[in-house]
Every structure is written in structure tokens, then in C-alpha cells.
Amino acid sequence: MKVILLQDVAKIGRRFSVVEVPDGYAINQLIPKKMAEPATAVNLKKIEKRQADTTASKEANEARFDAAVAALTAEALLVAAEANEQEHLFQAVHEADVVTAAKEKGIDIDAAMLKIAAPIKSLGTHEIELVIGSKKKTITIQVVKK
């Protein structure tokens, strides 16, 4: 039976590929577990559309990443946080705080794009990573007192 794989299946094939598998394996394992669907003309068109949507989404995310990198490498992003006299923050700076500061500057990023290696608990300059797929870029943020 020919099926379209909806996810990677070990020793069978990769996602969106059309493969020939034994009827029993397709009917009893792959299709009920939503790992595959029968390779009909209608399903093939659905998969082609889904692949096109996935590709367009990846390209849009990469364009957002490139725009964010260009905006954030020009100058450090200022993140305001409450701190005591010893310059220790009352609460660590998280990805959501950086996203909020970026949105205020008109930069479109998601918290999922940011990777903070160690908790930021003090005022000053810190480096964080902006990541999407295989692309990585280190950016600088400046944590200032509110």
C-alpha cells in the first residue's frame, strides 16, 4: 500500500515522502497513529499545499530573523529592570522581558528565538543568542535601572 508519511518513521522514510509499505503495517500501525495517510490524489494535493505552507513559513521566519539581527547589531537593546543599590536585580531578566523591550523599539522577535545561557541578575551589558533553525547570532543587551 502506498502511503504519505506525516512524520519521520524509522527504517521507512522521511516526512512527506510517498512510500510503499505492507498493507497490514499501514492499516494497523501508521494510519491509526496519524504517522501516515493513504496516498490518494486528494491527499497528495493536501501534502503539496502543506509543504508549500511550511516552506513559506520558514522563509518568513528567516526574514524576521535577518531583520531582527540587523536592528539589534546596530546598537545594544536597553532592558529596564528594578535593582537595588548594589546593582543586583530583584528579578532576573527573562526572554519575555527582552521581547517586550524589542517590541517597544519596533523589532519583531519571539521568546522562542532567544536563548539566555545564564540568568541575568545584574545591571550592565550582557550577551544573548538569537537563534532560528541553524542560524545563530549573538546580540548585546544593556540592562538598566528603572
- Domain with residue 43: its CATH number is 3.40.5.10
Beta bridge partners of 80: 144
Query: Are both 130 and 84 inside the same structural domain?
Result: yes
Structure confidence at residue 75 (pLDDT):
84
Query: Are both 76 and 138 inside the same structural domain?
Result: yes
Cα distance between residue 136 and residue 61, in whole Å: 13
Cα distance between residue 80 and residue 105, in whole Å: 13
Structure confidence at residue 74 (pLDDT):
83
Name the residue range of residue 28's domain. Answer: 2-58
Structure confidence at residue 20 (pLDDT):
97
Structure confidence at residue 56 (pLDDT):
94
Query: Are both 104 and 141 inside the same structural domain?
Result: yes
Query: Are both 71 and 118 inside the same structural domain?
Result: yes
Q: List, run by run, the mean pLDDT of 10-residue segments along the chain (146 residues).
A: 95 94 96 96 93 91 89 88 92 94 90 91 94 90 93
In 3D space, the residue among 107, 144, 143 whose CA is nearest the CA of residue 128 turns out to be 143
Helix or strand run (H / E) with residue 142: strand 135-145
Per the structure, the count of domains in the chain is 2
